[in-house]
Amino acid sequence: MEITGKIIAVLPANSGVSARTGNPWKSQEFVIETHDQYPRKCCFRVFGEDKINQFNIQSGEELTVSFDIDAHEYNGRWFNNITAWAVNRNVAQMQPGMPPMGGAPMGAPGQMNAATAPFPPAQAAPADQSADDLPF
């Protein structure tokens, strides 16, 4: 799965030693926010010091993150793990006022421009006709 957006939080790294293997481990979590009409936030994890250093994710970056979702049970409750396995920085920078999928610039909320208006602008009535004259 993929999500594209802006990194809004870089959480502190966690580390420890595996009880099963005795090997050290490191993970870090990041929060990304989408640019949808109703923005969504997603907290994902990068596992392994090598991947944390390779991805080098910074707050404020625009990224596309590829991730896997897995769930596990602990004491009768279920928890989701969202683990990133790839990060792409080749995201086109969005300009303010531009819709996510391209197209005409948006005006203020609730305001339509000529490119998005559902009807053409009203034409002025000729001088010899009254504005109240209807064709039917």
Average of per-residue pLDDT across 50-73? 96
The residue that leads in pLDDT, 100 or 133, is: 133
Q: How sure is the predictor about 127, in pLDDT bands with cuts at 50, 70 and 90?
A: low
Domains and CATH numbers, the chain: 2-88 (2.40.50.140)
pLDDT tens-digit profile of 94-105?
544 444 444 444
The residue that leads in pLDDT, 125 or 56, is: 56
pLDDT-above-70 percentage for the chain? 66
Work out the mean pLDDT of the chain and round it to a whole number. Answer: 81
pLDDT for residue 131 is more than 80: no
pLDDT for residue 16 is more than 70: yes
Asked whether 41 and 65 are in contact (CB, 8 A), the reply is: no
Q: DSSP for the chain?
A: -EEEEEEEEEPPPEEEE-TTT--EEEEEEEEEE--SSS--EEEEEEESHHHHHHH---TT-EEEEEEEEEEEEETTEEEEEEEEEEEE--PPPPPTT--TT--SPP-STT---TTT-SSPPPPPPPTTS-TT----
